[in-house]
């Protein structure tokens, strides 16, 4: 587990630069507002496929990260399986930190 990316994720959430919830994330992807989508490793197969397909269609990077508990704990919410990052700066920094993982 890379705590640096989790700390940055928490900061992005507190700054209001994230969206939560499958339907909201899909809409943000379609509107090109999402810059990066983080998906928990234990997300259901149907949800994972839906989000990955949308990201691929709209050329939004998507990364499979830690489990839902770790992801949820980082933002202080419960049972979150996906998070869309809406800020380009946060998204690029998170991608850098996750590629070092």
Residues in the chain: 101
CB neighbourhood size of 100 (10 A)? 9
Task: Please state, in angstroms and rounded to a whole number, the distance separating the CA atoms of residues 87 and 15.
Answer: 10
Would you state the pLDDT for residue 101?
Answer: 55
Write the CB contacts of 22 (distance below 8 Å, at least 6 apart in sequence). Answer: 47, 50, 51, 81, 82
Would you state the pLDDT for residue 57?
Answer: 97
For 3-99, CATH number out of 3.40.640.10, 3.30.1330.30, 3.40.980.10, 3.40.50.300 equals 3.30.1330.30
pTM: 0.94
Q: What is the pLDDT along the chain (101 residues), one digit of tens a residue?
A: 468 999 999 999 999 999 999 999 999 999 999 999 999 999 999 999 999 999 999 999 999 999 999 999 999 999 999 999 999 999 999 999 998 75
The H or E element spanning position 72 is: helix 68-75
Task: Please state, in angstroms and rounded to a whole number, the distance separating the CA atoms of residues 10 and 48.
Answer: 22
Would you state the pLDDT for residue 3?
Answer: 85
């Amino acid at each position: 587990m890379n705590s640096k990316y989790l700390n940055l994720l928490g900061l992005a959430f507190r700054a209001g630069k994230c969206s939560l919830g499958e339907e909201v994330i899909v809409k943000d992807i379609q509107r090109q507002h999402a810059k990066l989508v983080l998906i928990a490793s234990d997300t259901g197969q149907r949800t994972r496929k839906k989000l990955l397909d949308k990201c691929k269609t709209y050329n939004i990077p998507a990364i499979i990260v830690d489990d839902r508990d770790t992801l949820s704990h980082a933002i202080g919410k419960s049972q979150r399986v996906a998070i869309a990052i809406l800020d380009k700066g946060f998204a690029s920094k998170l991608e850098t930190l996750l590629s070092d993982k």
